[in-house]
Amino acid sequence: MSFVLRAALFCALMPMTATAQQGSLFVHAPASAPLIAAKPAAFIATEAAPLVGGAGRASLFAGQSGTSFFAPLPDRPRSIRLPVAPGPYASDADRIRHVIASAEASKHGYDSVQHGARRKPARAPTQMTLGEIYDWIAATPGQPHAIGRYQFIPKTLKRLAKRAGMGRNTPFSPQTQDQLADILLEEAGLSAIRAGKMSRRDFMNNLAKIWAGLPNSSGRSHYHGYAGNKASISWAKFETEMKKIFPS
| pLDDT tens for each residue of 157-210 | 999 999 999 999 999 999 999 999 999 999 999 999 999 999 999 999 999 999
Which domain range does residue 35 map to? 27-79
Domain count, the chain: 2
| Reported pTM | 0.66
- Return the closest-CA partner of residue 206 out of 174, 176, 242, 232: 242
3 state DSSP class of 233: coil
The amino acid occupying position 211 is W
Cα separation, 213 vs 82, whole angstroms: 19
Residue 98 shares a structural domain with residue 180: yes
pLDDT given at position 21: 43
- Based on the domain organization, do 38 and 107 belong to the same domain? no
pLDDT, average across residues 34-51:
32
Task: Please give the Cα distance from 108 to 201 (Å, whole number).
Answer: 29
Asked if residue 35 has pLDDT above 60, the reply is no
Domain final residue, candidates 79, 102, 122: 79
Asked whether the beta carbons of 122 and 132 are under 8 A apart, the reply is no
**Do 186 and 118 reside in the same domain of the chain?**
yes
Tell me, yes or no, whether 108 and 193 share the same domain. yes
Query: Which residues, 6+ apart, have CB-to-CB distance to 116 below 8 Å?
Result: 143, 144
Residues 65 and 111 occupy one common structural domain: no
Based on the fold, state whether residues 97 and 177 are members of the same structural domain.
yes
Query: Is residue 171 domain-resident?
Result: yes
